[in-house]
Each structure stands twice: as C-alpha cells, then as structure tokens.
C-alpha cells in the first residue's frame, strides 16, 4: 500500500502563521519582504507564496475590523465630551490611521494563510 493521500492543510493554522507574518507552509520563513509585499518564495521551505492573490480582501477586512473598533468609542466620545466635530476628527483620525496601518499587514498575512489552507496542495 502506498501513502499517496494528499496532505490536508488547515486554514486556521495558515491564518495564525500568516497573521504572525510567517510563511503559511512552514511557519518559519518570513512572509513579507516589505511592508505589504509578499515574498514570492519562502527562504526556508521554498514554497511559492506569490500564487495567492490577496488583492482586495485585506483592505476590506481591515476596514471592517477597525470600523467596529472605532465606531463604539466614537459614539461614546460624543456623549462624554462636548467637543466640536472638527476637534473630534483631529483627535481620532491619527489614531484611526495608525490602527489601519498597523492592522493591514496582519490581515493581509491572515488572508494569504487562509488562501494557502484552502488551496489544493501541489502533487
């Protein structure tokens, strides 16, 4: 009997590895070569990470997550403080921008990891 059964990939394991910025295949190599540039080939295992098209999903999911984190405090801010709307924007926009820039590589790595987990392994 031969062991030709395909290796089962876990999308959850890929999500964790990708969110940490690691290669979803081996979990040891770096996923990014720059801020949002995917390293096409893992330097540890040689896996082709450039085959997973994470184009529009990461910004969408990042906006969804950050929006949910910001809307509640924004509504509470209006109740607690009686600041003019321009001042509220001046206070919250830098934090919102920083949070978006912080979360975007994490979410992009997670999306690449999930794409790795649901893709068919090469024979």
Q: For 71-81, what is each residue's pLDDT tens digit?
A: 888 888 778 88
Counted domains in the chain: 1
In a domain, 78, yes or no: yes
In a domain, 3, yes or no: no
* 87-96 tens-digit pLDDT: 888 888 898 9
In a domain, 62, yes or no: yes
* Domain extent for 110: 11-118
In a domain, 24, yes or no: yes
Q: Phi-psi bin for 47: left (phi > 0), alpha (psi -120 to 50), beta?
A: beta
Helix, strand or coil for residue 27?
coil
In a domain, 2, yes or no: no
Q: Among residues 52, 37, 59, 51, which one has the least CA distance to residue 104?
A: 59
- Whole-structure pTM value: 0.86
- For the residues of 9-39, what is the DSSP string, one character each? PPHHHHHHHHHTTB-TTTSSSBSBSSSSPBP
Is the pLDDT reported for residue 3 higher than 60?
no
Q: Find the mean pLDDT for residues 18-26.
A: 95
In a domain, 5, yes or no: no
């Amino acid at each position: 009997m031969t062991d030709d059964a395909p290796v089962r990939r876990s999308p959850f394991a890929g999500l964790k590895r990708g969110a940490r910025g690691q290669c979803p295949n081996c979990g040891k190599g770096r996923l990014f070569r720059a801020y949002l540039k995917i390293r096409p080939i893992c330097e540890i295992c040689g896996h082709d990470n450039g085959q997973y098209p994470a184009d529009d999903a990461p910004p969408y999911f990042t906006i969804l997550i950050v929006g949910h984190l910001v809307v509640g405090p924004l509504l509470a801010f209006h109740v607690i403080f009686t600041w003019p709307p321009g001042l509220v924007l001046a206070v919250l926009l830098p934090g919102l921008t920083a949070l978006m820039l912080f979360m975007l590589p994490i979410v992009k790595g997670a999306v690449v990891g999930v794409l790795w987990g649901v893709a068919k392994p090469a024979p």
